Structure 1
């Protein structure tokens, strides 16, 4: 959810030093525009009349920009912080609910364990055997710190935590559980866990294995404090500027990443609607995001629980930002910047304003080229505009750099966090799979049956019933199967189970399973296609089944087929949480896709990604700006680091990398814009009677046209597209306002296509130069304006030219900067001669329909 209430600029501006600096720069620029405009009106009103309207429009534009840009920058930063803390707040509650969902399945299964039911029913009275079995369970499912069996009167029959010995409990949850036909979830203080202020307990009633009578209660005590500590330490911001919290339905803190800052039991303000407002807590103002859980597979989570992140406003906008831009190639940086209008509108406004200043100065210099006398006053005005514009552009450039940096760095942090969340979801989920296969391998009925030399159809059917019951509780598996010491499958779930009976698992897997030495060990197949999963790729978890009488004797094994296709996809989709223009993948170290949200890249194919990102260390993350599928994008990776003992100390190693791509826009066809600052011209103080040229960029090259033939430049957005053109170079028409208040429409040609035969890509820097020769006027699309310098005759040299390509129009080269920079000069006569008398004659200019202006609808007719 994004903020929906208008953000008050004055509330947040004092905490944003960079935006305040930008505001000051805009105010100074606005003042200078007023001074220059007034000076032009007083000193050369006639000479400046052609640019005064443009100057006034620009000044008015900057007045608006001063008001709106700062507000937009503030909104961008506030929403950015709210989005970042919101992602983490949602993660806190979602990961807790996903974890607790597994507990609801565990208590339901363990409460029907035949060995435990026999003990509670009094069929056997070995408390030591029951305690041993419970500890075996705890050894697999290490998220529990206590497991208790009680009779119907609350008497404790057996427990596994020796630190808090119990004899009896009077907790109401016992009566509630005895009356319920499902699990009971309890979180509060209880005499079942006397050493804790509160405990999270999942309880379920137990039944007599023969009569079905209710005989007692099983309590699984979740190690809540340890789990929350793990979540906070892994996903809190490294600088600890914000606090992550878990709240109950009364907005009271259940768990805190920093208990000294905001201790458990404290009531805090919440922000469930995501509005951008400051919230007071203990005399300090905070930005806050709060999320409740949407549930997981039908489990809603504990009633009222919420995830929340709070960050003090005075530090919310002052995080350390790495210099992302310095790591990008100029082509990549400029190309990404061309999409500023989509991913950061305020940045685009600044860029547009800077281009406007450049065009005003360039137009004024073109207009005064070759002029003397009173026009020299206008030159002075233009010099003031240029000088002020240059100073302002330096401030703009820094503002652009800082804002661009902030947007990219924030997006990269968010992508890295999302990738970390995705790989954490995977590790946590697969941890449960490793627990399940090892626990189910201890099922007495399976162990007894496999110890027999012959397994008849009745025994096979009985084992299938057991597996079917288990599979019904744990729906993340498409199949659970059991095989004997020779690898022959003797029981299986699934619609095609009958066809599998009698077939064998592969020899390599059988060898791995039979070599497992302890009950804590397990084996996982490679992620590859399997006949047990319809020839699709998946993981299959195996554990050895041991003889009941001789624990060191392996009599077979159990395999559980993880339903990887929907489960992995759902993890990726939930982790992305609806992020626009974002795709995610799980890949292995070779880049082979395990799962993805991109339908064009199937499981098993290779993901095109920087190989260095596939080599980052376990638990680490990284992000880059790159090109992906023809888009400028951020790519972020995070490598699995295990969960609890899974992939950490249990001997299993299978690195999975979560990859997130966030796209910003299509890759520019013509790459980076060259930029005038890259080609600064050195002035020659001795030059006095030289010729003035209008210089500009096209296709990354610097060109020149005699300034006497150039009227002005206008933004490409003024061009009207039309289908009347008969040649590919014609890209539209342009209306020029004349002194008689009528518009003259001229053709606009793509200079790049004229010279090299391929269409030019239009960017935010694209301009149309109005060029005149004799009775003809045309517009030329160019990539960017440069300057209007003066060169003496000695700097201009003729060059041989061919009959096609660029040299067809370029007959001279200008040696600038003492010969270190060569500028190609386009001969206007040849340009117009080609358009008029070439093999394809230049079309006549379009005309206005008579009285069209009076109708307010300018229509064009082909002459």
Structure 2
């Protein structure tokens, strides 16, 4: 869905109780900020003069955050719902079109069946034999509920459904099919299916086997209702909050997951553009997504057909509450959060705004630190600022948590649904392969030839022609081959025939094929390299070929080599539907890769994932958050569950697991944001002797510096990075506005580098503290701001390691929370002695850097 589309917050907010509650809390806090500012102006205007601008900025920033926060929460929730129902709407139409594509191939092949053509042409006259052959076909391809043979006048020659006996059809599709050189697709009411309101029929004309004259019509009637019911049952949301629909080109319902809710024949509103808007239907407002098919293998699907999902807005945002965050380690949770700008832009914007408010409150506390005398009148105001700031931060944190939860849970559900789609696509596709091999094994010419005592070159060539014709219609196979009762390959299609013809299949496979109990049974090789597929991994489907006599002795077999390399990868790509930063795999229970979209992990390699995911139950899905290839990622897995009788009741068992990874960004060492409970400061009785410190994080440790030396903090984005500094610790320059409207430029130093000797990672939480000592001012890059607390002198102790190594800037340790939390205090004199009076003097920023900073500022103002 285009992200440029504006979502009307007021439209959706009444349906989001959690967001409405958050908005109410925000409004209450906004009012509190106004009351604090008004109190300061009325009760101590002179004393509050220095902090009133900060308070005004705080109030303004909070008002902006209130709007952005509520808007972002609403926007992300709406987008998540639309994305979720959109994925399912696209699946509805795509899976239908893929299924019907197979029907177009079926009707083309069966219309040329020699036995059926002989019967329609009058060469043979046994209707029972023709009916038996059609029923054998139906037994293999169970997606059909009726198959009919008609002559050129519309007279019914034979059918397999005894519940609706037919003698003649006057339907126009008969004439249309007789005049067409390809299949005809019909979906409507027809006298060919008198018991149905409409039928989906694939018809093709038949030709005389000797003269080639058009002699009649074959009709394959697709069991449409059963197929759609299966799709809806498997993929509708378990709570049935939404309805899945198949529509025609006039937006009329063809099939509905819930006929009592939205019955077939109803015209519904559609949303093909994915707009975030409510659509009215029968007095109820819905979120809607609609998709047309992009076609499959050149087949466009029935004209105008569309998949759609509709969900009433009053239940769209009241799904199952996820606790995904509680199951994540802090490192994973915060690591993902550090990439919010890529995986959830609204979340990143909220985090940025929340940091702005936190910085403003922190700056206000710094500005009033150490003030005495008349400034004591501000104590109540400052206490209110601190208390309200804490409440604001708690609300921001909870709001960010809620949105984060929404985004992660939605992404995990989407990944799980994608894996379910992938195994469904696979099972549906391989179901057709099991049908093909069994049906082709019934070809009379193959059965008669293999029953001969000896197969000559002429007979082998004839077999090759039959296989070539079939392979031309079914391009998902690279090779079709026939072997005798000894396993010797006597005919084949595909490349490298000199090395194939005359060779033998392996003894274990031959034994399996020769022991197949009936025409309904088949054998599939394990997914492994085969010389019949260029020594690449694939499945080979086998069926026994039986003699034409009544005994049905097995006289050989047919093998069909699935072109697994492109076909499996195409399924994976179709299931991902172009989603960014996603990769997908088919693996077996041992994690061995059958196919993947990641070229760095070839077929046959082992995919390293949690073993529990490889044990997921058939038809179920699991997901989690992991580190994958150095990236924070969501992983999901689903195990195949079969389709119709395939892998369900036909005796074949071969579990395949679809695995999807969705990456969000590289692992950032030290990205953990240290705002957890372990760093909360406990309140203690205040004293006039207490000292105030500005506390902050660096390297996941809590540091402090005398608040009297700190002027303010600014976001790192304000820094102009440069490589022109003379010292490794210098990371850029910063312009400071002065009262005379002139700008003072200072150097910014990386505190982490000063302490440990390596550069700090910059994140969205990175801040620059402006520190002054005497006549010098510098900026210090830190990971995150914390608070501006007071500590008694008794809590401050000197460290004996003050002069050693990396601790040279830390001369004292503050014992907070009864000694359970130690805060390293940086000595300002030592800091400035090092950066200003050290072995390499600190020059002012070069003129060219000042000019660059001024040019950057002008560009920003112009923008």
Scaled by the length of structure 1, the TM-score of the pair is 0.95
Q: 1:260 matched to which residue of 2?
A: 260
Asked if structure 2 preserves the Cα contact closer than 8 Å seen for 1:546 and 1:556, the reply is: yes
Q: 2:835 matched to which residue of 1?
A: 835
Go from structure 1 to structure 2 and tell me whether the alpha carbon gap of 1:843 and 1:535 turns closer, same or farther (over 3 Å shift).
farther
| Structure-to-structure mapping, 1:434-833, within 5 angstroms | 434-549=434-549, 551-675=551-675, 677-685=677-685, 687-801=687-801, 805-833=805-833
How far apart, in 2, do the equivalents of 1:802 and 1:491 lie? 87
2:62 matches 1:62:
yes
- Partner-residue secondary structure (3-state), 1:611: coil
How far apart, in 2, do the equivalents of 1:3 and 1:719 lie? 30
- Partner-residue secondary structure (3-state), 2:720: coil
Q: 2:861 matched to which residue of 1?
A: none
C-alpha distance after superposition, 1:480-501 (max 9, x if no partner): 1111122211111113223321
Asked if structure 2 preserves the Cα contact closer than 8 Å seen for 1:849 and 1:858, the reply is: no
Q: Unaligned stretches of 5+ in structure 2?
A: 859-863
Post-superposition offset of 1:124:
2.0
C-alpha distance after superposition, 1:72-110 (max 9, x if no partner): 433322222222211111111111111011001001101
2:844 matches 1:845:
yes
Asked if structure 2 preserves the Cα contact closer than 8 Å seen for 1:2 and 1:83, the reply is: no
Once structures 1 and 2 are overlaid, which stretch shifts more, 157-166 or 613-622?
157-166
Post-superposition offset of 1:402:
1.7
C-alpha distance after superposition, 1:722-772 (max 9, x if no partner): 111233221111222223322222221211122223322222222112223
Go from structure 1 to structure 2 and tell me whether the alpha carbon gap of 1:832 and 1:851 turns closer, same or farther (over 3 Å shift).
closer
- Partner-residue secondary structure (3-state), 1:181: coil
How far apart, in 2, do the equivalents of 1:102 and 1:738 lie? 75
- Partner-residue secondary structure (3-state), 2:566: helix
Go from structure 1 to structure 2 and tell me whether the alpha carbon gap of 1:394 and 1:796 turns closer, same or farther (over 3 Å shift).
closer
C-alpha distance after superposition, 1:39-83 (max 9, x if no partner): 333444455444433332333233333344433433322222222
Asked if structure 1 preserves the Cα contact closer than 8 Å seen for 2:57 and 2:360, the reply is: no
How far apart, in 2, do the equivalents of 1:199 and 1:540 lie? 35
Q: 2:333 matched to which residue of 1?
A: 333
Q: 1:86 matched to which residue of 2?
A: 86
| Structure-to-structure mapping, 1:234-245, within 5 angstroms | 234-245=234-245
How far apart, in 1, do the equivalents of 2:841 and 2:752 lie? 17
Once structures 1 and 2 are overlaid, which stretch shifts more, 804-813 or 499-508?
804-813
Asked if structure 2 preserves the Cα contact closer than 8 Å seen for 1:587 and 1:594, the reply is: yes
Post-superposition offset of 1:688:
3.7
2:212 matches 1:212:
yes
Post-superposition offset of 1:851:
10
Post-superposition offset of 1:837:
5.4
Post-superposition offset of 1:534:
1.8
How far apart, in 1, do the equivalents of 2:403 and 2:368 lie? 36
Once structures 1 and 2 are overlaid, which stretch shifts more, 309-318 or 689-698?
689-698
How far apart, in 1, do the equivalents of 2:837 and 2:67 lie? 52
C-alpha distance after superposition, 1:496-525 (max 9, x if no partner): 223321112222222222221211111111
Go from structure 1 to structure 2 and tell me whether the alpha carbon gap of 1:854 and 1:150 turns closer, same or farther (over 3 Å shift).
closer
How far apart, in 1, do the equivalents of 2:669 and 2:629 lie? 13
C-alpha distance after superposition, 1:440-470 (max 9, x if no partner): 1111111111122322211111111100000
Asked if structure 2 preserves the Cα contact closer than 8 Å seen for 1:697 and 1:786, the reply is: yes
Post-superposition offset of 1:8:
2.6
How far apart, in 1, do the equivalents of 2:69 and 2:303 lie? 44
C-alpha distance after superposition, 1:121-174 (max 9, x if no partner): 222222222111111111110101111112222222221112222222222222
- Partner-residue secondary structure (3-state), 2:695: strand
Q: 1:40 matched to which residue of 2?
A: 40
Once structures 1 and 2 are overlaid, which stretch shifts more, 818-827 or 363-372?
363-372
Asked if structure 2 preserves the Cα contact closer than 8 Å seen for 1:246 and 1:253, the reply is: yes
C-alpha distance after superposition, 1:285-320 (max 9, x if no partner): 212222221111111111221111111111112212
How far apart, in 1, do the equivalents of 2:429 and 2:481 lie? 20
Go from structure 1 to structure 2 and tell me whether the alpha carbon gap of 1:21 and 1:436 turns closer, same or farther (over 3 Å shift).
same
Once structures 1 and 2 are overlaid, which stretch shifts more, 260-269 or 461-470?
260-269
- Partner-residue secondary structure (3-state), 1:505: coil
Once structures 1 and 2 are overlaid, which stretch shifts more, 662-671 or 535-544?
662-671
C-alpha distance after superposition, 1:185-222 (max 9, x if no partner): 11112222122221111111111111112222111111
Asked if structure 2 preserves the Cα contact closer than 8 Å seen for 1:155 and 1:169, the reply is: yes
| Structure-to-structure mapping, 1:144-163, within 5 angstroms | 144-163=144-163
Go from structure 1 to structure 2 and tell me whether the alpha carbon gap of 1:40 and 1:848 turns closer, same or farther (over 3 Å shift).
farther
Q: 1:24 matched to which residue of 2?
A: 24
Asked if structure 2 preserves the Cα contact closer than 8 Å seen for 1:365 and 1:379, the reply is: no
Asked if structure 2 preserves the Cα contact closer than 8 Å seen for 1:676 and 1:785, the reply is: no
How far apart, in 1, do the equivalents of 2:852 and 2:342 lie? 34
C-alpha distance after superposition, 1:770-808 (max 9, x if no partner): 223333322221112222223233322233327654323
Go from structure 1 to structure 2 and tell me whether the alpha carbon gap of 1:648 and 1:702 turns closer, same or farther (over 3 Å shift).
same
Asked if structure 1 preserves the Cα contact closer than 8 Å seen for 2:720 and 2:853, the reply is: no
Once structures 1 and 2 are overlaid, which stretch shifts more, 432-441 or 658-667?
658-667
How far apart, in 2, do the equivalents of 1:851 and 1:753 lie? 24
Go from structure 1 to structure 2 and tell me whether the alpha carbon gap of 1:6 and 1:701 turns closer, same or farther (over 3 Å shift).
closer
Once structures 1 and 2 are overlaid, which stretch shifts more, 37-46 or 276-285?
37-46
How far apart, in 2, do the equivalents of 1:757 and 1:589 lie? 48
How far apart, in 1, do the equivalents of 2:144 and 2:570 lie? 26
How far apart, in 2, do the equivalents of 1:671 and 1:855 lie? 31
Asked if structure 1 preserves the Cα contact closer than 8 Å seen for 2:670 and 2:699, the reply is: yes
Post-superposition offset of 1:25:
2.7
Number of residue pairs aligned between Structure 1 and Structure 2: 858
How far apart, in 2, do the equivalents of 1:4 and 1:719 lie? 29
Go from structure 1 to structure 2 and tell me whether the alpha carbon gap of 1:690 and 1:34 turns closer, same or farther (over 3 Å shift).
closer
Post-superposition offset of 1:632:
1.9
Q: 1:226 matched to which residue of 2?
A: 226
Asked if structure 2 preserves the Cα contact closer than 8 Å seen for 1:338 and 1:764, the reply is: yes
| RMSD of Structure 2 on Structure 1 (CA) | 2.3
How far apart, in 2, do the equivalents of 1:456 and 1:144 lie? 38
Post-superposition offset of 1:226:
0.4
Asked if structure 2 preserves the Cα contact closer than 8 Å seen for 1:85 and 1:309, the reply is: yes
Asked if structure 2 preserves the Cα contact closer than 8 Å seen for 1:635 and 1:661, the reply is: yes
Post-superposition offset of 1:545:
1.2
How far apart, in 2, do the equivalents of 1:858 and 1:203 lie? 72
Post-superposition offset of 1:815:
1.7
Asked if structure 2 preserves the Cα contact closer than 8 Å seen for 1:517 and 1:552, the reply is: no
Post-superposition offset of 1:643:
0.3
How far apart, in 1, do the equivalents of 2:289 and 2:710 lie? 57
Go from structure 1 to structure 2 and tell me whether the alpha carbon gap of 1:388 and 1:98 turns closer, same or farther (over 3 Å shift).
same
How far apart, in 1, do the equivalents of 2:301 and 2:550 lie? 42
How far apart, in 2, do the equivalents of 1:851 and 1:684 lie? 45
- Partner-residue secondary structure (3-state), 2:721: coil
Q: Unaligned stretches of 5+ in structure 1?
A: none
